[in-house]
Amino acid sequence: MQILNILLSLIDMRSFSNLWYWIALAVTWSTASHWVLGVPFDMVLRARRRGGASAEALLDQTRISTERLLGIGREAGMVLAVVIPFVLSVLVVLGFGYDMEFAQALALILVPLAVVWLISLRAAARLAPVLAAAPRPEAVAEALTHHRFRIQLIGIAAITATAFWGMMQNLRLSSFGIH
């Protein structure tokens, strides 16, 4: 019985007071800003510094990732355009309309990630013609860097909003004596 209590305290549904939620939030945004259009950002930095084979590898990886993203958009776009907003709407209504903290926590991670996915799809569509022609590695690296910056801005806004909301929730619940 003691082990069950320990496990349940680790998987606490009160997300904003749970360390695991904040770790997951940090890992999510760290990963989102490292993998830009499916290309690891260290590859972009290496291509800029070294050029040559590293620059060619960057172009190849960007071409593969861009085609993959656009393929997902073409093949599953209609289904994703219905399912993703539905799931996010359910989370937002359950979380903020019915005050379910776990749904709030998921919504505060997934809604900004959906925005990142949309701008990534748009960036992939803009990069595809450039990659089909004779691309300059510097131009591709610059486009990926700009896209990463936009992702980081969204991440900063999402983390800040989540921190403030989580702090308000924790203060509100602690003032009621709920633990």
What are 88-141's pLDDT values in tens digits?
A: 999 999 999 999 999 999 999 999 999 999 999 999 999 999 999 989 999 999
Q: Does residue 146 lie within any of the structural domains?
A: yes
Measured CA angle at 49 (ends 46, 55), to 5 deg: 60
Number of structural domains found in the chain = 1
Q: Does residue 66 lie within any of the structural domains?
A: yes
- Please give the model's pTM, rounded to 2 decimal places: 0.88
Structural domain that includes position 141: 41-173
- pLDDT of res. 9: 61
123: which residues sit within 8 A by CB, 6+ positions away?
37, 143, 147
Count of CA atoms in the C-beta half-sphere (13 A) of 65: 19
Q: Does residue 3 lie within any of the structural domains?
A: no
Distance CA 78, CA 82 (A): 7
3-state secondary structure (DSSP) of residue 112:
helix
